[in-house]
Structure 1
Amino acid sequence: MNRQQNPEEAAASHETRSRTSKLPAGGVVLPVLVGLLAAALIVIYRLSFVVLETKQSLQIMKEENEALRENISACQRPPAFPPPTAVNMKPPCVQCEPGWELNQMNCYYFSTTKSSWNDSRRSCTDLGSDLVKIDSREEQAFLARRVGDIMENFWDRFWIGLTDSEEEGRWFWVDGSPLDKSLSFWDSLPDDWKGPKGTNPEGEDCAIMGTRGGSQNLKCWYDVFCSNSQKSVCEKSPETG
C-alpha cells in the first residue's frame, strides 16, 4: 500500500516543485543566444571568402575579356601608316598554326608530352618557338586558366621559360631578361630544395606553373628540379595574313 504523506512532507514536496518550475528563463535563453551568435559569425566568415573569390574571378575574367577584344581589334584596325597603294586594302590579321592558341598577339602551344626542362625547351625550338615568357598579368591570367583546365592532377604542371641555373636566386627568362619582381607569381617563394638528404645538389632551378581548375590569385609558379618530367608551354609570334 502507498504510504500517505504527512502534512509536513506534502508541504516540502510542493515547495520543491514550485522552485523547479520557477527556474529563471535566462538560464536557457543565454546559451541559445550564444549559439546563434556563433553560427552567424561562421556564416559571415565564410561569406567574406566567397565575396573575395568572386571579386578575384571577375578581375581575371575582365583581364581575359580585354585580351580577347585586343585580338579581335587587331584584325580590324588599319595599319598605323598605310602605304598609298594599300589604303583600300584589308588590314592583315594575325593567326596561329593549327594546334596553337592565339592570345594578346602571341601564339601558345600546350605540350602534353612530359620531359625535362632542357628537353622541353629543345622541343619548343624545333617548333620555331621557345618556352613561354610571361610579361603581364593578363598573360598570366590566360595561361593559369588554360593550364588549369588541362591539368589531370595536382602535380601535372607545365614548364615555363624561367630558370636560376646560372646563378642561384637570380631568375632569368629564356631570352636572357631578368624576372620582374612586380610580375612574379610564385605560390611560395623558391627555396632551392636539394632533395631528401641532399640527393640533388643542384637544387630546384627551373619553374613550372599550374593550379588545377585555375588559380584565383594567379599565383601558381613553383621551383622544381630541372630534370623533372613535366608538360610545357611554348610561345612564338603569330603569322599575318
Structure 2
Amino acid sequence: MAFTLGSLVLLCGISGLLTGVWSATIVPVKGNNCPKGWTQLDCYCYIYEDERRTFADAENVCNILGGNLVSIHSNLENALVDELVQPGGGDLPSGIWIGLTDAVLETDHMWTDGSNVDFTNFSARKAGGDDGDCVVMATATGEWADVSCATNLPYICIRETFRH
C-alpha cells in the first residue's frame, strides 16, 4: 500500500513537471489519499472550515492541519473552492478566506504557501485597493476582493495528499 501511495505522489509530481500544469481530475475520497472529510483534486486535499477567524488565525489552523489557507491556480480550482462552501446550519457566508495577501508590499500579492501567483479572479474593483491586505472569495460569484485581515470569516485549507 505504501508503494501505491508513493507511486501516486510520484505520478502527480511527474505529471505536473512534464505538462507544466496539474491535471484536472476530481477524485472522490474513498481511498487513503486525504484525511476523512477532505476533498481531493489531483494531488491536493481541501477542507472548508465554517468557524469564523481572522486571516492569521485561519492560516494558523490550516498549518496545524498540515497545510495552508488555499492557494488557487486555475478556474477549475476556483470553482471547486467555491463549491466546497456549504451552509453550515445557517446562511451562506458572504466570503471566505483564501491564502492570498499583499500585507508585505501593497499590490504585490503572495500566497501563504509560497506558490506562484499564476491565476487571479479579482472582481472589477482594483485588487490591492484601500479595503485591506487579505483576500476573500465572494461565495455568490467566486470573485476575489481585498478586505481587512482582522475580519472574522470562514476559510478553506489545502494540503498535499498523504505521502508514505
Structure 1 segments, 4+ long, off by >6 Å, are none
Structure-to-structure mapping, 1:160-199, within 5 angstroms: 160-180=98-118, 183-188=119-124, 189-190=126-127, 192-193=129-130
Please tell me the residue identity of whatever aligns with 1:209. Answer: M
CA distance in 2 between counterparts of 1:156 and 1:106 reads 25
1:206 counterpart = 2:144: no
What SS does the corresponding residue of 2:113 show, helix, strand or coil? Answer: coil
CA distance in 1 between counterparts of 2:106 and 2:33 reads 38
RMSD between superposed Cα atoms in Å = 2.5
Cα-to-partner distance string for 1:53-102 (whole Å, 9 max, x where unaligned): xxxxxxxxxxxxx523xx37xx9xxxxxxxxxxxxxxxxx6521112111
Displacement of 1:155 in angstroms is 5.0
For normalisation by structure 1, the TM-score amounts to 0.51
Please tell me the residue identity of whatever aligns with 1:235. Answer: I
| Gapped regions of structure 1 (runs ≥ 5) | 1-65, 76-92, 194-202
CA distance in 1 between counterparts of 2:40 and 2:163 reads 12
Displacement of 1:231 in angstroms is 0.6
For normalisation by structure 2, the TM-score amounts to 0.73
Displacement of 1:103 in angstroms is 1.8
Please tell me the residue identity of whatever aligns with 1:223. Answer: D
Cα-to-partner distance string for 1:173-226 (whole Å, 9 max, x where unaligned): 11334422xx21012322532xxxxxxxxx5000011323xx3xxx51111000
> Are 2:47 and 2:84, in contact at CA under 8 Å, matched by a contact in 1?
no
> Are 1:67 and 1:138, in contact at CA under 8 Å, matched by a contact in 2?
no
Structure 2 partner of 1:116? 54
> Are 2:107 and 2:128, in contact at CA under 8 Å, matched by a contact in 1?
no
Displacement of 1:146 in angstroms is 2.2
> Are 2:48 and 2:155, in contact at CA under 8 Å, matched by a contact in 1?
yes
Structure 2 partner of 1:100? 38
Larger Rg: 1
Structure 2 partner of 1:231? 154
> Are 1:134 and 1:140, in contact at CA under 8 Å, matched by a contact in 2?
yes
Structure 2 partner of 1:133? 71
Displacement of 1:154 in angstroms is 6.8
Displacement of 1:156 in angstroms is 3.0
Structure 2 partner of 1:67? 25
CA distance in 2 between counterparts of 1:141 and 1:191 reads 22
> Are 2:71 and 2:111, in contact at CA under 8 Å, matched by a contact in 1?
yes
> Are 1:160 and 1:232, in contact at CA under 8 Å, matched by a contact in 2?
yes
CA distance in 2 between counterparts of 1:153 and 1:222 reads 20
Say which of 152, 159, 163 aligns to 2:97. Answer: 159
CA distance in 2 between counterparts of 1:233 and 1:99 reads 12
* Number of positions where the alignment pairs a residue of Structure 1 with one of Structure 2: 138
CA distance in 2 between counterparts of 1:171 and 1:157 reads 18
Displacement of 1:106 in angstroms is 1.1
| Gapped regions of structure 2 (runs ≥ 5) | 1-23
> Are 2:68 and 2:158, in contact at CA under 8 Å, matched by a contact in 1?
yes
Higher helix share: 1
